[in-house]
Amino acid sequence: MLTLNNIEVIYDGVILVLKGVSLNVPEGGITTLLGANGAGKTTTLKAISGLLRAERGEVTKGSIELHGTRIDRLPPHVVVKQGVVQVFEGRRVFEHLTTEENLIAGAHVQGDRQRVRQGIDRVYEYFPRLRERRAVQAGYLSGGEQQMLVIGRALMSTPRVMLLDEPSLGLAPMLVEEIFAIVQRLNRQEQLTVLLVEQNATLALTIAEHGYVIENGRIVLEGTAEALRANADIKEFYLGLTEVGARKSYRDVKHYKRRKRWLS
Amino acid sequence: MLDWQFSLLLLSNGVLIGLMYALIALGFVLVYKATDAINFAQGEFVMIAGFVVVAFLLSYKAPLWLSVVCGLAAMIAFGFGLERAVLRKLIGRPVIAVVMATIGLAAVLRGIGPLTWGADTKNLALPISDEPFVLGPLFIPPIQIVGAVVSLAFLAGFGWFFLKSRKGIAMRAVADSQQVAMAMGINVERYFALAWAMTGVVSALGGVVWGSLLGVDVHLALVGFKVFPVVILGGLDSIPGAIVGGLIVGIVENVAAGYVDPYVGGGTKDFAPYVLMILALMIRPYGIFGKRIIERI
């Protein structure tokens, strides 16, 4: 459904951030993009949503296609109209707007008032806690509520693809599980296609069907979630397990440092 | 005249003038709210609007309503054009770039106005009698009532727009975070243009009411200076703040003129609001209604 063909992204005309990233997000699935800080995960999402240009970044090579039509030259508000919406990391709510106003702002591309109302009710169904907090300024919501709000706000544009950037960042493990469960429900009940960027590989690989690993602006590994979970490199570097599958201990005197196979 | 009557007169005069300040401050607030830009040319907007209306009224002998409509149209076009030609190119630059651009613009407009329409003071006569409206002990010039009513109507209108309408909410979203607004499908540039056009509308009306009160010449731009104490007191981005700030400034300068001037020989009217502004900055830098930086604990 959403395809990136060998894209290259340059910031400020000189800094090469993505060096040929290709990935495919199949319709109705959850695909995850794993990688460390600075690997280029967020840049990949911004390239898709068209937000690079506002940061003086540019897709210089390759193409991004949605259902076979190119979207890499479109301004962000047109990309949203096409049904691709990005949820930023770090719970970027409109702080000075109330919860409900945040949702209304999220429905900007929706012309029909009635549909906006329905959209708000749908978000409250998935996130009942937001209904209770509807009149509160979003800046005063708790971290978990803010994460729910940004996902709900993105839903208001009735997207076909949601680009979800690190929803687990800085949240308590229980909340993270709750939010991941809701993402999974959205995926199943609303046929929402999700591209999930995560550092929490364990969790991401449990809800995704397919995964990619990005490092230094390149895709270094891809496969089904099962295959990735079984991959020795992934276990070592992203799941924090040794080859035997036991939790890594730093107390062992001699600590064998595994070399990433994809580097050779 | 009795003492309390004198006080009441100063007070009512202050309230009416204050509401007219609020109208101009509204133009400033609209731009700041949506684009985070500080418009130092607000007074010059009002002056240009006054010139345009007077030009239609006197040179082309157009009826008043048509002149006002033309003034409105001209200022909307001016707002749009300014955003397109200058300010859009400064998006993403440091705030100081926009500030300097508007200061430069102010100087240019102060030059262009008299250059195009002549330096003499023109009379923008509204079909309102000069006979003061007598209400008990109060004498109120009708023009001030008209100004106050126009101000209140527009303040209420824009207040509703920002609180209830979807476009208004989108505009506040843009002010909150341009990047996130873009990601939500909001065409940020279009809202910037809209904000400047709205400022054009408010400035045109300000030009009519202030122009008829003071006469239209280059000094009309000076009312813009009164905007700063108003918005600092009320909060840079608050519409109710513009009203309250306007009222405070209006009352303070009238009371100062009434009670302090006799002792010092005059002139307190012009700086009293600024003293208040500096005090306000020390105590409550975001103003009475300004948006606070939200910090969760």
CATH number of the domain that residue A38 is part of: 3.40.50.300
**What are B125-132's contacts with CB under 8 Å, separation 24+?**
B125/B57, B125/B212, B126/B64, B126/B208, B126/B212, B127/B64
pLDDT at A245 (0 to 100): 55
ipTM of the complex: 0.86
Tell whether the model's pLDDT for residue A81 goes beyond 80. Answer: yes
User: How confident is the model over B75-82, as a mean pLDDT?
Assistant: 93
pLDDT in tens, A210-234: 999 998 899 988 999 999 888 877 7
Q: How far is it, in rounded angstroms, from Cα B11 to Cα A231?
A: 80
Domain count, chain B: 1
| Best B169, B189, B192, B238 residue to mutate vs chain A (most A CBs within 10 Å) | B169
Task: Give CA–CA dist A104/B181, Å, rounded.
Answer: 12
Long-range contacts made by residues A113-120, C-beta under 8 angstroms, separation at least 24? A115/A158, A116/A156, A116/B166, A119/A155, A119/A156, A119/A158, A120/A156
In this complex, do B180 and A104 lie within 8 Å of one another by their Cβ atoms? no
A82: containing domain: 2-230
Contact list in A for residue B296 (CB cut-off 8 A) is 139-140, 142
pLDDT of residue A249: 63
> Using CB atoms within 10 A of its CB, is residue B98 exposed (0-12), middle (13-18) or buried (19+)?
buried
The reply to whether A260 falls in a domain is no
In this structure, is residue B31 part of a structural domain? yes
Does residue A146 sit within a domain?
yes
Instruction: Dump pLDDT digits (tens) for B246-258.
Output: 999 999 999 998 8
Q: Which percentage of chain B shows pLDDT scores above 90?
A: 38
| B77 and chain A in contact, CB less than 8 A | no
Identify whether A238 is part of a domain: no
DSSP state, residue A257: P
Does B234 fall in a domain? yes
Q: Is residue A65 part of a domain?
A: yes
Task: Judge whether A21 lies within some domain.
Answer: yes
Residue B295 domain-assigned?
no
Inter-chain CB proximity A80 and B183 less than 8 Å? yes
pLDDT tens-digit readout, B79-136:
999 999 988 888 767 878 888 999 999 999 999 998 998 888 888 888 777 778 787 7
Q: Is residue A155 one of the residues assigned to a domain?
A: yes
Q: For residues B210 and B257, is the Cβ–Cβ distance under 8 A?
A: no
CB within 8 Å: A96 and B182 = no
Q: State which residues form the domain around B207.
A: 3-283
Q: Which residues of A touch B (CB under 8 A)?
A: 49, 51, 54, 75-77, 80-81, 85-86, 88, 92, 94-97, 101-102, 104-109, 116, 137, 139-140, 142, 153-154, 157
- The structure tokens listed for A228 are 């990735």
Q: What is the pLDDT of residue A255?
A: 54
Contacts of A157 in chain B (CB under 8 A): 184-185
Cα angle at A218 between A213 and A224, to 5 degrees? 30
Give pLDDT, residue B260: 85
Asked, for residue B291, whether it belongs to a domain, the answer is no
Q: What's the longest Cα–Cα distance across chain B?
A: 64
pLDDT tens digits along A161-174: 999 999 999 899 99
Tell me what pLDDT residue B126 has.
81
* pLDDT score of B265: 81
Whether B186 and A97 have beta carbons less than 8 Å apart is answered as no
Residue at A145 is within a domain: yes
Tell me whether residue A149 is in a domain. Answer: yes
- Count how many Cα atoms sit within 13 Å of the Cα of residue B121 in the half-sphere of its side chain: 9
Which pLDDT band, with edges at 50, 70 and 90, does A263 fall under? low
User: Is B175 a residue whose pLDDT tops 90?
Assistant: no
- Distance between CA atoms of residues B47 and B109, nearest Å: 9
Residue B76 has pLDDT above 70, yes or no: yes
Residues of A in contact with B179 (CB under 8 A): 51, 54, 88, 92
> Which single residue is written with the structure tokens 């065409």?
B187
CATH for B255: 1.10.3470
Alpha-carbon distances of A154 from A108, A120, A160, rounded to whole Å: 10, 11, 11
Question: Mean pLDDT, to the nearest integer, of B188-195?
Answer: 90
Residue A179 is predicted with a pLDDT of 93
Q: 3-state SS of B94-137?
A: CHHHHHHHHHHHHHHHHHHHHHHHCCCCECCCCCCCCCCEEECC
Name which residue leads in pLDDT, A248 or B50: B50
Write down the pLDDT at residue B166: 93
Assess whether pLDDT exceeds 70 at residue B234: yes
